[in-house]
């Protein structure tokens, strides 16, 4: 049935003329899903968050990041010592046309409740359940009572999710939840009509039912996705305020104007950076985030555009990100998880500076903490308890019971995706620990398979990383909490009672010295137990064609396409 609806949608658009105002982009991997409840990786978010919308979004032109209402009419009203949150919603926000929706179907508060219930509903396998678990009155009990019964999904109410009218949403919380507005800025809370859930039997992996600035007109998750302007888009207008950088980049010329500006956006799956580079240089792509293989081709020794690119008036942005990387261990694995000395040996046996030079051309910033720069509580003076030292690594390996690797079974390092870069990273790590006598093999995966295996807790040793969902330590520490075991995001299956206790305090605290002190205590525990070996924080070099306007790179503002504009052809 889901493919029938997709085909009907495509058939309805088949008569559309080729768009002239068309932005062309590439994707580095296949698209795992377009269900907002299940989308939890950078590839699918770049699609989903331009089809669907959340209650809040980040200011496009301000740093540090700030929230502003999107589908909400205003910021949350917090009462009863943080236990009651009321949100007014905008009126007359239409959904994209679908055969199962009436022609005038608009967003209602009940649709947002559906989205949150879908996260709790076991049949959805929602990737955002960790956001709401144990936070909303009655939701956990509802999850157990309803199980996988879709009829019960609709019939059974949740005491802590109320809609007194179509444009008012009330949350009753079990504890104060300062990050709720951040959570409601994510795709997990994108409203979903009851009609869609019923008709699609709760399977939205291939059919979109959004309110976003763009609607899907063709979808091949392994090859190409085309989205067209949603003519009835009403949720937002171009920002009227920005920071110093926004003014320097002349990004406020369209302040207050109706969105979106583009007629069409085409995403093409191109796993190899060489393909994307050649297409960008041939003017067949409009925006390109450079990989390390092409820094030398695009940049001079000072990090500026080479003359041959500058003469074409290509544009360069050097952008900090909320992305960082580490090596991860499965703490339930009988080999690596049960032997701290072995993990310490690996931590001392991998040359992180060499890694950064090889795979980021020294653009990446060497990590000094389990927390990244840009979040409150990050300590720039923090130090990790390990560094590259082969003699110490060999000593630790002997103390682990495996002198020169003797007696140690072969480890498996899972490759994060099928690109050349992912394969090279895996081979590098295997070679580095091979010097110690540790034998390891690489296990190839497509990116969706890698994600699925991580969600099932099936990995032993791998290249881990995180894109912060919001700039708060709680969003990082949930990766290490027992309550986030797979299918949640704690793919290492690390557990530590003190960390869990501190996490439960941190997640409900406002920013301040006490919270930051607790963060430091967590870091001490994690560094002692070593589920992660920290690598680096990402910075991106981003190229765009001369015709691209209103573009400011961000790894957290994934719904940016509505702001982008193209210069008219000369």
Task: Say if strands 411-414 and 440-443 run parallel, antiparallel, or are unpaired.
Answer: parallel
> What is the rounded (10 degree) CA torsion for 113, 115, 121, 127?
-140
Neighbouring CB atoms inside 10 A of 261's CB total: 20
Determine the Cα–Cα distance for residues 417 and 31; give it in Å rounded to an integer: 12
Determine the Cα–Cα distance for residues 251 and 549; give it in Å rounded to an integer: 8
Region of 250 please: left (phi>0), alpha (psi -120 to 50) or beta: left
DSSP 251: -
Helices within 14-108 (DSSP H only): 42-51
Question: What token pair was written down for 97?
Answer: 């046309």
Determine the Cα–Cα distance for residues 322 and 348; give it in Å rounded to an integer: 26
pLDDT at 4: 38
Determine the Cα–Cα distance for residues 131 and 113; give it in Å rounded to an integer: 14
Per the CB < 8 A criterion, the answer to whether 142 and 156 are in contact is yes
Determine the Cα–Cα distance for residues 250 and 219; give it in Å rounded to an integer: 34
Angle of helix 497-506 versus helix 513-529 axis, rounded to 10: 160
DSSP letters along 415-444, please?
-SSSSHHHHHHHHHHHHHHHTTT--EEEE-
Q: Across-strand partners of 229?
A: 214
pLDDT at 19: 61
Is the Cα torsion angle 299, 305, 306, 308 positive or negative in sign?
Answer: positive
Residues in the chain: 570
Per the CB < 8 A criterion, the answer to whether 432 and 385 are in contact is no
Cα Dmax for the chain: 71
Residue 316, SS3 per DSSP: strand
Determine the Cα–Cα distance for residues 546 and 439; give it in Å rounded to an integer: 49
pLDDT tens series, the chain, 570 aa: 443 344 334 444 444 455 679 999 999 999 999 999 999 888 999 999 999 999 999 999 988 788 999 999 999 999 999 999 999 999 999 999 999 998 889 999 999 999 999 999 999 999 999 899 999 999 999 999 999 999 999 999 999 999 999 999 999 999 999 899 999 999 999 999 999 999 999 999 999 999 999 999 999 999 999 999 999 999 999 999 999 999 999 999 999 999 999 999 999 999 999 999 999 999 999 999 998 788 889 988 777 899 999 999 999 998 888 899 999 999 999 999 999 999 999 999 999 999 998 888 788 889 999 999 878 888 989 999 999 999 999 999 999 999 999 999 999 999 998 888 899 999 999 999 999 999 999 999 998 899 889 888 899 999 999 988 888 999 999 999 999 998 888 999 999 999 999 999 998 887 789 999 999 999 999 999 999 999 999 989 999 999 999 999 998 899 999 999 999 876
Determine the Cα–Cα distance for residues 477 and 469; give it in Å rounded to an integer: 12
Query: Residue 373: exposed, middle, or buried by beta-carbon count in 10 A (0-12, 13-18, 19+)?
Result: middle
Q: What angle do CA 100, 191, 3 make, to 5 degrees?
A: 40
Q: List CB contacts of 269: < 8 A, sequence separation 6 or more.
A: 26, 27, 29, 30, 31, 221, 222, 223, 224
Per the CB < 8 A criterion, the answer to whether 136 and 161 are in contact is yes
Radius of gyration for the chain, computed over Cα atoms and rounded to the nearest angstrom: 24
DSSP letters along 90-132, please?
-S--BPPP-TTS-TT-B--HHHHHHHHHHHH-GGGT-TTHHHH
pLDDT at 51: 98
Q: List CB contacts of 302: < 8 A, sequence separation 6 or more.
A: none
Per-residue burial over 479-502, b if 16 or more Cβ lie within 10 Å, else e, is bbbeebbbbbbbbbbbbbeebeeb
CA atoms within 13 A on the CB side of 152: 13
Determine the Cα–Cα distance for residues 361 and 463; give it in Å rounded to an integer: 18
Per the CB < 8 A criterion, the answer to whether 205 and 30 are in contact is no
Question: What token pair was written down for 230?
Answer: 């949603």
Instruction: Check whether the bond before 260 is cis (ω within 30° of 0).
Output: yes
pLDDT at 17: 53
Residue 67, SS3 per DSSP: strand
pLDDT at 18: 55
DSSP letters along 515-551, please?
HHHHHHHHHHHHHHH-SEEEEEEEEEEEEE-TTEES-
């Amino acid at each position: 049935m889901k493919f029938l609806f997709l085909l009907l949608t495509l058939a309805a658009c088949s008569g559309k003329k080729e768009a002239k105002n068309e932005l062309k982009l590439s994707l580095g991997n296949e698209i795992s899903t377009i269900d907002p409840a299940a989308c939890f990786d950078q590839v699918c978010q770049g699609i989903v968050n331009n089809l669907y919308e959340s209650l809040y979004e980040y200011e496009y032109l301000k740093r540090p990041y700030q929230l502003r209402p999107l589908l909400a009419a205003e910021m949350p009203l917090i009462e009863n010592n943080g236990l009651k949150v009321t949100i007014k919603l905008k009126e007359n926000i239409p959904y994209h046309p679908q055969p199962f929706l009436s022609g005038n179907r608009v967003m209602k508060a009940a649709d947002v409740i559906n989205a949150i219930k879908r996260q709790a509903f076991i049949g959805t396998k929602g990737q955002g359940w960790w956001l709401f678990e144990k936070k909303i009155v009655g939701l956990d009990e509802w999850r157990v009572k309803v199980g996988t019964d879709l009829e019960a999904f609709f019939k059974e109410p949740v005491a802590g999710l109320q809609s007194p009218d179509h444009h008012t949403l009330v949350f009753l919380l079990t504890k104060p939840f300062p990050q709720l507005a951040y959570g409601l800025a994510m795709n997990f809370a994108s409203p979903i009509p009851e009609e869609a859930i019923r008709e699609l039997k709760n399977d939205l992996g291939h059919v979109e039912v959004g309110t976003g600035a763009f609607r899907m007109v063709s979808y091949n998750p392994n090859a190409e996705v085309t989205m067209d302007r949603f003519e009835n888009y009403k949720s937002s207008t171009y920002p009227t305020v920005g920071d110093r950088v926004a003014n320097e980049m002349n990004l406020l010329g369209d302040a207050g104007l109706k969105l979106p500006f583009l007629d069409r956006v085409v995403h093409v799956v191109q796993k190899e950076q060489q393909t994307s580079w050649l297409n960008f240089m041939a003017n067949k792509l409009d925006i390109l985030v450079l990989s390390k293989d092409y820094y030398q081709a695009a940049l001079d020794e000072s990090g500026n555009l080479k003359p041959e690119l500058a003469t074409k008036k290509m544009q360069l942005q050097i952008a900090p990100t909320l992305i960082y990387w580490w090596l991860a261990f499965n703490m339930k694995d009988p080999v690596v998880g049960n032997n701290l000395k072995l993990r310490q040996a690996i931590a001392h046996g991998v040359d992180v500076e060499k890694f950064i030079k090889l795979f980021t051309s020294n653009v990446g910033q060497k990590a000094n903490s389990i927390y990244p720069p840009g979040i409150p509580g990050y300590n720039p003076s923090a130090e990790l308890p390990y560094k590259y030292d082969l003699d110490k690594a060999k000593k630790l390996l002997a103390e682990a019971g495996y002198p020169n690797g003797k007696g140690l079974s072969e480890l498996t390092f899972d490759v994060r995706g099928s690109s050349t870069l992912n394969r090279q990273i895996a081979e590098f790590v295997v070679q580095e620990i091979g010097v110690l006598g540790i034998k390891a093999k690489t296990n190839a995966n497509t990116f969706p398979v890698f994600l699925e295996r991580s969600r099932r807790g099936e990995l032993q040793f791998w290249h881990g990383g995180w894109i912060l969902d919001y700039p708060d330590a709680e969003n990082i520490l949930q990766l290490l909490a027992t309550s986030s075991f797979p299918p949640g995001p704690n793919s290492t299956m690390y557990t530590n009672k003190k960390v869990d206790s501190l996490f439960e305090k941190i997640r409900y605290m406002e920013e301040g010295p006490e919270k930051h002190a607790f963060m430091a205590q967590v870091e001490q525990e994690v560094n002692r137990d070593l589920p992660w070996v920290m690598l680096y924080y990402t910075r991106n070099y981003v190229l765009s064609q001369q015709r691209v306007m209103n573009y400011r790179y961000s790894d957290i503002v994934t719904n940016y396409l509505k702001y982008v504009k193209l210069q008219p052809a000369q």
